[in-house]
Structure 1
Amino acid sequence: MGKRKFLYMVYNENEQSVTSTGIEFADFVHALPIGINHILLLDSGYAEGEFHAGLRMEYVRKERLQALYKENVYAYGDFCWVDFEEVAVLNKLEPQEKAELLYLGHFKQPLESPFFEKLCNQFVYLAHDDGWFNKVFYKNAELYTGMLRQLVANRLKTYGLDTPPITADVGEQLKLFAKDGLLIESSRLVKSHTGVEVPLHVIGTITNHDELYNNIERYKSEARSQHWLVYKNGEWTIRQHH
């Protein structure tokens, strides 16, 4: 399928959500700047969770998350969850809160806020064919930039490159690009003896990821702007494509 050949993401500042293709569940959790306590599964095929009778939902405790991280969640089709702080709070959710969680898992969008005061969730993760269409709500926008900074470094490791995470200022610039649809082509990076350059294209908001994948060269040729993400002499920068 080639879903890992590039990263494409759209950052919606009003929602504090990121819609993406090319970022899988394992990519996400291994790039997060904070840890996750527990996970409430809104929609998934995971069979090893604990059943909560009051919610009629499965959840996974923190100490068992490593097994979930190793799962092929793409095979589930839909894979949707929220994190939460304390297991005991699941017994304290009111009918309205339960209804909002059920709506979130079924319709893949929040009925009200995606964040629940009792759960203290930092994320809402909504995926269909994980890595192909993902939408993540971030309670704090800095969690997104922190994830993105580490994600790129992790992706470069798969090409035999060992770089530090992207610096905060460059991460903020990437977030600005992502407001208009950012394509990061890690598979077309250019190595040199002094560093690496990764092509960036700002191509607008594309909701149909099949359309993007099938016509990627056209979208690149019509890009609003083109740049290089550069790691050279121990420093991260972004330069305009000429």
Structure 2
Amino acid sequence: MRCGNEVIDLAKKMRAADDFLHHLYVHMNEINQFVIFSGLTFHEFVSSIGPLQNILLLKNEYEDGSFNMHTQLEFVEERSIRKFTKKATDSKAELCWIDFSDEKRLNLLTPQEQAELLYIGHKKEPIRSPFYHQLQNKFVYLANEDEKMSKIYFRDLQDVEQLLANLFNAIIQDKERSTTFWRRKVKESIPSFTPDMLSNFREDIKDGIIFSMYKIEKPNLAYVLELRNISDFPFPDEIWGELNTILKKKAEKIIEVH
């Protein structure tokens, strides 16, 4: 692992946006316990965060879901999350939800708490902390129609580093599987990032950064993650039109795994 301002020799060549495997914008608000992402889809979130509990839909209609009479809202049971993820990804509809442990707990929500949930779905922000004892929820997920930006509340912000590690490692595994198929050579080990490596970036993420990942083949196989501060972009969706310009800036930090 290498982390710092040094530039890897093989990375000195200027890379265009398409030369990277993935770009991800991340901006953390530690006080209010939410993270803004751009470049993260709902499917990627579900795949990277681990098993989800049941989810209560604050804004989204799902004809195959269940209906809770107490809240008058639809919900998706844990066993149907995979099916719902595909449906939601295909529909490109606005998506707002909060997870919960079981339906009995939904029925304990007070009128005030139900009103707060409706407010979250409408305004994309909570009146107070969006973590409810009755629901035992870990997340509140708020995304616009095209998924260009998502705002996700985390009960435990350490889950952010786990999500990032799982996301980047899944991309690496897909890349290596496709390489192995064509070359018919099975690698003894596949490089991977750990949450501890990514926790070194916690302070940087508070300012708003973009992660860019690429692969090195020679002299040894490695995957490199570059970090660039883009706090001067107040709106995350603006960065994608300026990505090649952003990438001309030297990376503030670099981490490499073999």
Does residue 1:56 correspond to 2:72, yes or no?
yes
- 1:49-198 aligned at under 5 Å gives the runs 49-73=65-89, 75-129=91-145, 131-160=147-176, 163=190, 165-186=192-213, 188-192=214-218, 193-198=220-225
Classify the secondary structure of the residue corresponding to 1:109: coil
Does residue 1:229 correspond to 2:229, yes or no?
no
1:86/1:46 Cα in 2 relative to 1: closer, same or farther (>3 Å)? same
Measured against aligned partners, the alpha-carbon deviations of 1:75-109 in whole angstroms (never above 9, x if no partner) come to 34310111101111111111000000000001110
Structure 1 residue ranges, 4+ long, deviating more than 6 angstroms after superposition: none
Equivalent in 211, 231, 238 of residue 204 of structure 1? 231
Equivalent in 224, 227, 244 of residue 217 of structure 1? 244
Structure number, greater radius of gyration: 2
* TM-score of the pair, normalised by structure 2: 0.79
Q: Which runs of 5+ in 2 are unaligned?
A: 1-17, 178-188
1:219, CA displacement in angstroms? 3.3
Higher relative contact order (CA 8 A, sep 6+): 2
Cα RMSD (Å) of the superposition? Answer: 2.3
Partners of 2:61 and 2:148 in 1: CA distance: 17
Q: As a proportion of its length, which structure holds more strand? A: 1
Q: Which runs of 5+ in 1 are unaligned?
A: 233-242
Q: Which range is displaced more, 51-60 or 153-162?
A: 153-162
The number of aligned residues is: 227
Classify the secondary structure of the residue corresponding to 2:81: helix
Partners of 1:29 and 1:8 in 2: CA distance: 18
Measured against aligned partners, the alpha-carbon deviations of 1:142-182 in whole angstroms (never above 9, x if no partner) come to 11111111111112234337745422331201333211212
Classify the secondary structure of the residue corresponding to 1:42: strand
Classify the secondary structure of the residue corresponding to 1:59: strand
CA contact 2:25–2:236 (8 Å) conserved in 1: no
Does residue 1:8 correspond to 2:35, yes or no?
no
CA contact 1:13–1:179 (8 Å) conserved in 2: yes
* TM-score of the pair, normalised by structure 1: 0.84
Partner of 1:237: none
Partners of 2:140 and 2:77 in 1: CA distance: 17
Task: Read off the aligned partner of 1:85 and give its amino acid letter.
Answer: S
CA contact 2:42–2:147 (8 Å) conserved in 1: yes
Measured against aligned partners, the alpha-carbon deviations of 1:188-212 in whole angstroms (never above 9, x if no partner) come to 4433333222332122163423321
Task: Read off the aligned partner of 1:214 and give its amino acid letter.
Answer: G
CA contact 2:57–2:98 (8 Å) conserved in 1: yes
